[in-house]
């Protein structure tokens, strides 16, 4: 798998069924640039999770809806409901442990 870019218009459709993790990021954010390759690597190992990312500068509606105030922020959703909110950089192992709680 790979991390799919989503926009305000497609976010709900992409995250409404099953387990998903959304990376809210921006091009100017250093920790975001560190987080992206971690999510890409994890997406290659985990089959039953939808990995998506959203540029907060290009898509202001969804981050505002979820009160995203700092980036990177990762939202883990199960069937469209937020089950975890993680702010700041997280390692692949940390993220794998979080996702395992909702996929097993």
Query: Where in the sequence numbering do the catalytic residues fall?
Result: 29, 32
**Taking 90 as the threshold, does the pLDDT of residue 2 lie above it?**
no
Domains with residue ranges and CATH for the chain: 4-103 (3.40.30.10)
**What percent of the chain is helix, strand and coil (3-state, nearest 5)?**
35, 30, 35
Q: Express each pLDDT in 17-55 by its tens digit.
A: 999 999 999 999 999 999 999 999 999 999 899 999 999
**Taking 80 as the threshold, does the pLDDT of residue 1 lie above it?**
no
How many angstroms separate the CA atoms of 79 and 38, rounded?
23
Considering Cα of 34, then 86, then 97, then 54, what sign does the dihedral take? negative
Q: Which pTM does this prediction carry?
A: 0.95
pLDDT at 12: 96
Please name the residues in contact with 22: beta carbons below 8 A apart, sequence gap of 6 or more. 6, 11, 15, 52, 53, 54, 74, 75, 77
């Amino acid at each position: 798998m790979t991390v799919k870019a989503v926009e305000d218009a497609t976010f709900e459709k992409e995250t409404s069924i099953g387990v998903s993790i959304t990376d809210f990021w921006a091009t100017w954010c250093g920790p975001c640039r560190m987080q992206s390759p971690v999510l890409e690597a994890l997406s290659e190992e985990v089959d039953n999770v939808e990995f998506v990312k959203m540029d907060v500068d290009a898509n202001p509606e969804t981050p505002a809806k979820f009160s995203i105030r700092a980036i990177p922020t990762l939202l883990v959703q199960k069937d469209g409901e937020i089950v975890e909110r993680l702010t700041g950089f997280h390692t692949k192992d940390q993220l794998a442990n979080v996702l395992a709680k909702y996929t097993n």
